[in-house]
Structure 1
Amino acid sequence: MAILSLEYYSEVLGMNRKVKIIYPEASKVADFTNTDIPVLYLLHGMSGNENSWLIRSGIDRLVRHSNLAVVMPSTDLGFYVNTTYGMNYFDAIAIELPQVIHNFFPNLSTKREKNFIAGLSMGGYGAYRIGLGTEQFSHVASLSGVLTFDGMEERFSENPAYWGGIFGNWETFKGSENEILALAREKKIKRPKLYAWCGKQDELFAGNEYAAQQLKELGYDLTYEKAEGTHDWYYWTKEIETVLNWLPINYVQEERLS
């Protein structure tokens, strides 16, 4: 396994961007063709960047027995959308980044069934926004994600400069492609399988409960889990292992000392 740092120029954003990549051992992909290594795009939360998952969760340890490559980009505080102030993070990460990654690593799979996306908090929102807004990912996972802003309208009025810069005002946000449930209602040829987890003591728990119910009513193949827990890396580190087991990859959990 190798941990790589890649800096590249984003034509979409007009600036250099950094991404971290975990590349599997050759012995783990020996049974695959040269262009068939599965890929997980793993997204950070509001306080993070491309290093967060490596530093806080030890994701490199978790996947070292797998055949999975992991790509960890940064969206700053842009919520993985095309912002109203002209920074098109959605286009940069959902469309441009996979092309960049494949140019540097042509043996990573471009098959939909072997491309996955997951994230926590803001990154959980981003995973669903990208996963439902494109048809390039077969499995989409959220940990403590902002899957609905219903009940959080006051945030738009309390900090209009930030939220307006990201999404516009509440009226323009509702029903737009940036609202996860509105996006989920759009007719799609290929629907991804969905996974969501949230802790019961998390301030986003009620929103996750509501979003999960709505997604199931819309007919999505959703695995929804909940447990005791807060909005904290302690829980996300444990739950990302569940996500890895849920993905269709060759994953062997690391043996733990008793």
Structure 2
Amino acid sequence: MEFIKGLFINLRLKDIVDIFIVAMAFYKLFKLIRETRAEQLTKGIIALFVFTKVSDWLQLYTVHWILDKTMTVGILALIIVFQPELRRALEYIGRSNFFTKSFIEIKDESLSQLVEEIVEAVASLSRQKIGALIVIERTTGLSEVIETGTRIDGKVSSDLLINIFIPNTPLHDGAVIVKEDIIKAAGCFLPLTENTSLSKDLGTRHRAALGISEKSDSLSIIVSEETGAISIAENGSLARYLDTKTLRQILMDMYKPKDQKSTFIAKWRRKDGQREK
């Protein structure tokens, strides 16, 4: 008790700040590795560290020597094994507001028209049960993804979007990339998510939408070919079974200037958490 009391007496403001920064760093790290291969690997590393300390305490010299050398060499192995997760962490830091430019701000008249064109196209595709995947670029550039498809560079319109996804056409089986109010490319290939805990009824479009949302701050709109259900993917999470009114609100909120953004998406997700997978 005296030791604990001494800790609180000698606690300084900079110590509290130090603890807070470390706690936030561990929290962010946990969010990055959650439901990925890194989560299981991290558990293995912790177990190995515990066994090393226990072998030292029990004076199991040979076992301790092997485990200690394994931990030493393991630092280099970690860099190789965790390469995808490290890249993801660096991309996450690079996407922070301190390093990125502001997302495009569109005037109210053009904004309303742009959102209506997208919503009208998605609603039509949903009614006809035509599969679609629309990725809206934000602050993270998607030039590498755009290069995998066919360049269009046409203004966003519902007719153009619908025609792209009509079955048996050259560009229907891929993603459309939208930047600001321009359709940059169609028929693009996206990376699939590494999340292994997804529902089995999710197809390639949903997994691709989640994959690109894990690697960028883009927002993806998915229309299911089987059910016509509308979903969105953002920041590695999926919200399913949206109606057009909800989609319109999300898009309007996304394109608004930063100081006018509401927390509508977060509120909707908390209210309908069962829809997220």
Task: Provide TM-score, normalisation by structure 2.
Answer: 0.23
Task: Provide TM-score, normalisation by structure 1.
Answer: 0.24
The structure having more radius of gyration, on CA atoms, is 2
| Higher fraction of helix | 2
